[in-house]
Structure 1
């Protein structure tokens, strides 16, 4: 699979899972109707989808220049932290506005979602790599 097709496939599958998880979590946490949280989840997933593509392109560019190839758990942790950290900057104000809550409440909600998605991102990427193989940037080409 080409790097571009791989990134698009990975991002779309990741966000489908994200919407399925976030919608009920937000509904329960904020006692809100699914009719309110589903559109928010889809908007958040769309933002994350764009960020996912950009972040993975940047990460793979960095990864390609690393001496150690492959994806250790340490590298996967760095990947997950970088991806989720970038989302906080956009999603906290969006969540506060959409649910009509304070930035602090939105930040606390986002921290809860980040903890969930940090684990989800690492497991999802591991499973995706197992099914589709490592990207070219992580393969040892010296053999």
Structure 2
């Protein structure tokens, strides 16, 4: 099991590296000023963090109410991830639209590209992180 300080290091480094990557990429790809993309990226990160807490709280309580447990099967994990991302897209849509002065369709497409970036980034980041900072209990179990 990872320690509290390791989890903090992982979360902070995930966000900082993600922001340092997505901001210049977004600015270059979409032609928006670096500060605009940087600001919307930071806002998105903060909203996603808050939404993660709220969503998981609600989802776990719903699971416990309907199933008597918070244990998740593979289909429930897929539902969980999909519902989280759709909720986040809906929350961020008006923010993206307003901040970048875009219509909802354009804002949605940019958001979708951010979500796809973070999907790939999450897989790569966690793989690299687990190799650079291995979980001691994972080594003991192997």
Q: Which has the larger radius of gyration?
A: 2
**1:92-107 to 2 correspondences below 5 Å:** 92-107=93-108
Deviations 1:41-95 (A, max 9, x none): 222222334456x39x87xx99x9579xxxxxx8xx9597676555323332221
* Alignment RMSD: 4.0
* Alignment-derived partner of residue 32 in structure 2: 32
Q: Any stretches of 5+ residues in structure 2 without a counterpart? A: 64-69
Between Structure 1 and Structure 2, which shows a larger proportion of helix residues?
2
Q: What TM-score do the two structures reach when normalised by structure 2?
A: 0.64
Deviations 1:80-139 (A, max 9, x none): 767655532333222111101112111111121222211110111122222333486xx5
Q: Any stretches of 5+ residues in structure 1 without a counterpart? A: 68-73
* Alignment-derived partner of residue 21 in structure 1: 21
Deviations 1:18-48 (A, max 9, x none): 2112212332343222122222222222233
* Alignment-derived partner of residue 128 in structure 1: 129
* Partner Cα separation in structure 1 for residue 110 and residue 50 of structure 2: 21
* Alignment-derived partner of residue 91 in structure 2: 90
Give aligned pairs, total: 127
